Amino acid sequence: MSAENPPKMPPPLPGSADATNEFEDLSGVDTRRHANPYDALIEACQNDPTLIGARYATHRTTRNSQQKAKLLSPEFSGLAIDLILQRMENPIIEPGYSDPRHCLVFWARPTPQILALAGEVQEKLLRIAPKIWLMPAQRMHLTALEITHSLADPEIHRIIAALGPEAIAKMTDYTCAHRARLYKPMVSYDSSALALSFLPTIGSVLSEDGTPNTTSNFTYHHLRRDLFNIASATGVGVDSRYVVPSSHITLARFLVQEDHDTPEKMKAFIEGIEAINAWLEAKFWPVDGEDRALEWVVGEKKGLDCREGQLWYGGGNTVRLGKGF
């Protein structure tokens, strides 16, 4: 079996929260006709950063609306508890349990400013759901590209070898000269997790002399497209779980039902999230004539982190960390 087409492992545990999650593109773009799925949205938006950002906004607001309706529905049967994380956090359930899913990804690490905001949002979430599991700050990440997931460790190392050090170096350093900007933070949620999501806006590509190319329409979505192209050029298949227009940092997951086991509790929980989002918009979103927008330039301080191993919850090992700026 070639490294480009490694065998999939069977589901490690029935009922795994991510195994039941649906990653539906709600932006109105069909990616199926493109060898590189990220080209679809760029083509649909005529390479216009404003339109690309609008599609990301459509996706996340539509998804939040769908999830709200689902969670408040009389037919809702309960949260998607992460049984694997539950066992890892509470070894008494199954002593010696180890997550068998190994992955290979390229992560963007949040800047100190973004980490501070994520921590503040987590504190607010704890007030409305005290029993949620919080992602530790040192594990927070934005997945720029997922090469593969849920494989055995030897298969991951075969793929790393197939990618090769030259491509890995190019990908992890790519943000030095290709600077994607994210802004407008919002809490996104579903029945398994909560995340801090962002929208892409126009960034920049640096010329050889280090000056910004003022005609560049580069966005975070272009970054994802380019990373996909670099990886694919090595012959490695890119087997991402999702290519939907989303840029998010996971903040929390659900391990118990107690915080949400009545319609009244769930209603209060959703209202709490909406209050947090109103606060985020009022304090951190741009307003004409006011300079109070919070922005994240991907690659600032640290380049991309090529990461392998058991990293569904922010763990794993760094293969190479790219250069920051």
* More confident of the two residues 15 and 89: 89
**Residue 16 falls inside a structural domain:** no
CATH number, domain containing residue 315: 3.90.1140.10
* 117 CB-near residues (< 8 Å, 6+ apart): 185, 196, 284, 294
Domain count, the chain: 1
**pLDDT by residue (tens digit) across 265-314?**
999 999 999 999 999 999 999 987 666 689 999 999 999 999 999 999 99
Instruction: Provide the domain limits for residue 308.
Output: 40-321
- Please give the average per-residue pLDDT across 116-122, as a whole number: 98
Whether 246 is covered by a domain: the verdict is: yes
pLDDT of residue 293: 84
Q: Across residues 223-233, what is the average pLDDT? A: 98
CA 324 – CA 321 distance, rounded (Å): 9
Does 131 reside within a domain?
yes
Residue 25: pLDDT band by 50, 70, 90 thresholds?
Answer: low
At 215 the pLDDT is 75
Indicate whether 102 belongs to any domain: yes
DSSP string spanning 154-168? HHHHHHHHHHHHHHH
pLDDT at position 33, please? Answer: 77
How far is residue 220's CA from residue 162's CA, in Å, rounded to a whole number?
Answer: 26
10-14, 71-75, 289-293, range with the lowest pLDDT: 10-14
DSSP code per residue over 84-112: HHHHHH-TTSSTT-----EEEEEEEPPPH
Q: Concatenated DSSP letters for 215-277?
A: T----HHHHHHHHHHHHHHTT-----S--SS-EEEEEEE---SGGGSSHHHHHHHHHHHHHHH
For the CA atoms of 278, 282, 283, 286, the dihedral, rounded to the nearest 10 degrees, stands at: 120
- Tell me if 17 is assigned to some domain: no
Using 50, 70 and 90 to split pLDDT, how confident is the model at 9? very low
DSSP 200-229: EEEEEEB-TTS-B-TT----HHHHHHHHHH
DSSP state letter for 126: H
In a domain, residue 259? The reply is yes
Q: What are the pLDDT digits (tens) for 250-269?
A: 999 999 999 999 999 999 99
Q: What is the pLDDT of residue 140?
A: 98
The residue with tokens 């960034």 is 203
Q: Is a pLDDT exceeding 70 seen at residue 98?
A: yes
The average pLDDT across 28-46 equals: 85
If 0-12 CB within 10 Å is exposed, 13-18 middle and 19+ buried, where does residue 21 land? middle
Residue 151 reports pLDDT greater than 90:
yes
**Does residue 168 lie within any of the structural domains?**
yes
pTM tops 0.85: yes
Q: How confident is the model at residue 6 (pLDDT cuts 50, 70, 90)?
A: very low
What are the tokens at 317? Answer: 């090992």
Q: Is residue 33 part of a domain?
A: no
Read off the DSSP letter of residue 287. Answer: B
Q: Rounded distance, CA 314 to CA 105, Å?
A: 11
